[in-house]
Structure formats: C-alpha cells, structure tokens
Structure 1
Amino acid sequence: MTTVVIILHVLAAILFLGPVTVATSSFHVRAAEAHTGDTEAAGATKTLYRISQNYGVFSLLVPLLGVAVMFTDVGYYFQQYQFHAAIVLSLLAWAVLLFLIFPRQKTMMGALGFLEPDELAAKSYEIEDWGKARSQLSMFGGIWALLWVLTAITMFL
C-alpha cells in the first residue's frame, strides 16, 4: 500500500506542479505583452491563467498524498522529521499560490478584460503600475518554485 501511495504522490507532483510552475512563471510576461495589444499574447495569457487555476487547485493533492504516505507506515514516517518539514514547505508553497499568485493573476485578467462578464461586473480591476504588478508575480512565482525545490530536497535527505 505504501508503494502505491508514494507512486500517486510522485505522479501528482510531476503532473500538477510542473505545469503550474511553468504557467506562473510565464503568465505575467504574456499578460504584460497582452496589455500592449499583442493578440497572440492575449490567447497565451488566458491559457496560462486556466492552467494556473485548474492545475494549481489539483496541486493540493501533493501534500495531501504526502500526509497519506506518512499514515501508511506510522512507525517510520512519523519519526523522520524531514517529511514533516516537507509537508510544511509544500503547504506554504500552496498558500503562496492561493493567497498571493491567484489574486494578482485575477487582477491582471480583469484589467485586461479577460474574465467572465459577471466577474468583471462584480469588481473594478485596475492596475496602475504594470511593471510593479509584473515584478510581484515574478517574485511570487519564484518563491513558489523555490519552495517546491526545497520540498523535494528535504524529502531526499
């Protein structure tokens, strides 16, 4: 049973974290290009936003499956504190995605007019400084990726 859960854990990490990392590291660049009127970048921005949102939510499976792995062999995994640290790091990464990256991406999408009409009507989306917004998303995307790299390293210690 432990092997099956570990395989699911690793597959979830590969299938969900990779696309979200690429999408969050590319979204702000393409959104800034779309802001200047680039229609190709507009399409890419919409796609990267959907990837970030959908795969990002599914990426929560990675720490949840990590916890499940710990419960498959309680005597071993609960004594190994690097696994506890890895779960905390992955939850921090997910919090960065949920509370820092997603809202900023949504603001950019709204400012570009790419959200659904009901979302656009519910709130005014404005960005005064596109350079600052772009650099913030770049920074938080880098933090997201770094936390996952640290998580992977921690799990192999």
Structure 2
Amino acid sequence: MTSLLIALHVLAAVLLMGPVMITVSTYQGQMMKAKDGDAKALGAATTLHRLTSQYGPLSVIVPILGLALFLTNMSVFGTQGRFHVSILLSVIAWVILVALIIPRQKKSLAALESGDSSVDFADHKKKLSMFGGIFNLLWVVTAILMFL
C-alpha cells in the first residue's frame, strides 16, 4: 500500500504541480502584453488562467496523498520532522494559490476582457509575481525535503 501511495503522490505532484507552477509564473507577462492590446497575449493569459484555475484546486490531491501516506506508515514517517514540515508547506502553498493567486488572475483577466483601464495592472503584476514566487518556492522546498 505504501508503494502505491508513494507512486500516486509523486505522479500527482508531477502532473498537477508542474503545470500550475509554470502557469503561475508566466501569467503576469502575458497579462502585461495583453494590457497593451496584444490579442495573442490575451488568448495566452486566458489559457494560463484556465489551467491555473482548473489544475490548481485539483492539486490539493498532492498534500492529501502525502498525508495519507504519512498516516498509513506512522512508524517511518511520523518520526521525521521533514515530513511534518512538507505537509504544512504544501498546504500553505495550496491556500496561497486558491485564496490569492487564482482570484487575482481572475480579476485582472476580467479587466483585460472588458477593457477596464482603471485597473492597476502593474500592481497586479507585482502581487501575482510575489505570490507566485512564494508558491513556487514552497513547492521547491517541499520537493527538496522529500529527498533529504
């Protein structure tokens, strides 16, 4: 059972977190190009947001599988603090994604699509870059902790 959970956990991390980490990192650049009237960039920003908002919430599977793995083999995983920290960091990253990144992307994309020029896209870019960087850093640290 442990081997199956490890395989599912790693597979979910690769298939879900990889694309989300990339879309979170590249959305801001396309948003800024779209702000200047680039129709292709608007299409790219729309696609990136769609991927983030669909894969992002599904990525909760990664910490859930990690927690299931942790709980099924407490004698091995329960005594190592790195697994406690990893679960905590992945949950924090997921909350940042769902509570901060996805709503900001949605708001900026709505402004782009409606042509609302009152939106401060530079501020959106800064905040999305900051939260995206924190999100990605938390996942990188979590991945490193898995292999120590």
The normalised TM-score by structure 2 is 0.94
Runs of 5+ consecutive residues of structure 1 not aligned to the other structure = 115-124
Structure 1 segments of 4+ aligned residues over 6 angstroms from their partners: none
Matched, 1:83 2:74: no
CA drift of 1:87 comes to 0.1
Matched, 1:138 2:129: yes
CA drift of 1:41 comes to 0.4
Q: Contact 2:27/2:45 (CA < 8 Å) preserved in 1?
A: yes
**Aligned residue in 2 for 1:55:** 55
Runs of 5+ consecutive residues of structure 2 not aligned to the other structure = none
Q: RMSD of the alignment, in Å? A: 1.4
Q: Distance in 1 between matches of 2:51 and 2:98?
A: 14
**Aligned residue in 2 for 1:152:** 143
CA drift of 1:110 comes to 1.2
Q: Distance in 2 between matches of 1:63 and 1:127?
A: 38
Which shows bigger deviation, 125-134 or 95-104?
A: 125-134
Deviations 1:72-115 (A, max 9, x none): 2121111111101000000011111011101110110111127x
**Aligned residue in 2 for 1:46:** 46
Residues 126 and 93 of structure 1, relative CA distance in 2, 3 Å threshold: farther
Residues 35 and 151 of structure 1, relative CA distance in 2, 3 Å threshold: same
**Aligned residue in 2 for 1:118:** none
Matched, 1:68 2:68: yes
Q: Any idea what SS the aligned residue of 1:128 has?
A: coil
The normalised TM-score by structure 1 is 0.89
The sequence identity of aligned pairs, in percent, is 46
Q: Any idea what SS the aligned residue of 1:66 has?
A: helix
Number of paired residues? 147
